[in-house]
Structure 1
Amino acid sequence: MTTERIAPPVRAGERETLRSFLDFHRATLAMKTDGLSDADLRRRSSPPSTLSLLGLVRHMAEVERSWFRRVINGEDLPLVWSAEGDYQAAYDASTATGAEAFDAWQTEVAHARRIERAAASLDVTGYQPRWDEHVSLRLVMLHLIHEYARHNGHADFLREAIDGTVGA
């Protein structure tokens, strides 16, 4: 599978720019995983760390779910991979499959897109219990761009270690 990644616009409104950069980073993570087997996706960065490309995909499913569904939409639901609320659990993909992880991630991205598009403005707020603060949709989108950018850097190194693929 080849992932299509569309460059964000150089001149657009704030919401379209945020949406485009978030989708660009989502596509970047997908590109870093294109064409790999489950075994390659589960390959750890450097033991004892459990960091792997599959773990990153699982983690980003949790991030999308938490910020858009739980915070902005106010849904009372557990994390995907930890009923106890342990965000680190997603990183351990030692027994996970690509199909399971990508399905969960794509499902959460679809929910996130729906929630963002339905919001009246970037000023819509939701409660973030970990911070004990109400946060705007604008902050959530910026936070996810930051989260993807950071983890896409990890994905660059992980992919290069697997098969030498670099760039993009």
Structure 2
Amino acid sequence: MTTERIESDPRVDPSTTSGEREALEQWLDFHRATLAGKCEGLDDAQLRTLSAPPSDLNLLGLVRHMAEVERGWFRRVLTGEDLGWIYSTEEDPDRDIHVTDEDTYEEAYATWQAEIAHARALAAPHGLDDLGVGKHRTGRTFNLRWIYLHMIEEYARHNGHADLIRERIDGATGD
């Protein structure tokens, strides 16, 4: 396997002089675009490739997981929407990661992008210090600043996983 760099990079570098909210939103969007880029050009079978068995981690599962995470933090915790999970079930709480041959990137990507659109719309009227009206599974409340920071951390951690999985699939590397 030869190592190649992923050349197409649609990400926009966050500004080095923006204010706090703009910086948080830019970094979150940067990390969202990073995950999409790690999946670019791969077919569904490649996107289902496990990272390093026995781990179930795979790129398609990461996209589905992040759709769940976007929904959980912005729709449930920030605005208090009473929603079920998209993929996860009581029988399989990690069903977002546990993909099958029937699960497609087209569906997962569309769902993830819809959750991102909801997140942006729901966050827009709130200030960074505004507390979410919903509760996290721990029973705690969180302000929008904390949610943004956590989302950046969540994406950054999983983008590291995605980078290794992508390199395992076809040798492609990138930032």
TM-score by length of 1: 0.94
In structure 2, C-alpha distance between the alignment counterparts of 1:125 and 1:16, rounded to whole Å: 19
In structure 1, C-alpha distance between the alignment counterparts of 2:115 and 2:14, rounded to whole Å: 21
Shift of 1:93: 1.4
Shift of 1:84: 2.9
Which runs of structure 2 are paired with 1:19-38 in the superposition (5 Å)?
Answer: 19-38=25-44
User: What's the counterpart of residue 59 of structure 1?
Assistant: 65
Question: Residue deviations 1:50-88, cap 9 Å, x none?
Answer: 110000000000000000001101100001012439652
Structure with the larger RCO, 1 or 2 (CA within 8 Å, 6+ apart) = 2
Unaligned runs of 5+ in 2: 1-7
In structure 2, C-alpha distance between the alignment counterparts of 1:87 and 1:157, rounded to whole Å: 24
Question: Would the aligned equivalents of 1:19 and 1:141 in 2 still touch at CA under 8 Å?
Answer: yes
User: What's the counterpart of residue 5 of structure 2?
Assistant: none
User: What's the counterpart of residue 128 of structure 1?
Assistant: 135
- Identity score, percent: 53
Question: Would the aligned equivalents of 2:80 and 2:135 in 1 still touch at CA under 8 Å?
Answer: no
Match among 149, 153, 159 for residue 156 of structure 2: 149
Distance 1:31 1:48, change over 3 A: same
Alignment pair present for 1:97 and 2:104: yes
Unaligned runs of 5+ in 1: none
In structure 2, C-alpha distance between the alignment counterparts of 1:89 and 1:63, rounded to whole Å: 13
User: What's the counterpart of residue 49 of structure 1?
Assistant: 55
Question: Would the aligned equivalents of 1:78 and 1:85 in 2 still touch at CA under 8 Å?
Answer: no
In structure 1, C-alpha distance between the alignment counterparts of 2:88 and 2:115, rounded to whole Å: 15
Q: Which amino acid aligns with 2:161?
A: H
Q: Secondary structure at the match of 2:172?
A: coil
Distance 1:3 1:84, change over 3 A: farther
Task: Count matched residues.
Answer: 166
User: What's the counterpart of residue 4 of structure 2?
Assistant: none
Match among 97, 115, 121 for residue 114 of structure 1: 121
User: What's the counterpart of residue 169 of structure 2?
Assistant: 162
In structure 1, C-alpha distance between the alignment counterparts of 2:24 and 2:97, rounded to whole Å: 26
In structure 2, C-alpha distance between the alignment counterparts of 1:142 and 1:62, rounded to whole Å: 17
Question: Would the aligned equivalents of 1:116 and 1:137 in 2 still touch at CA under 8 Å?
Answer: yes
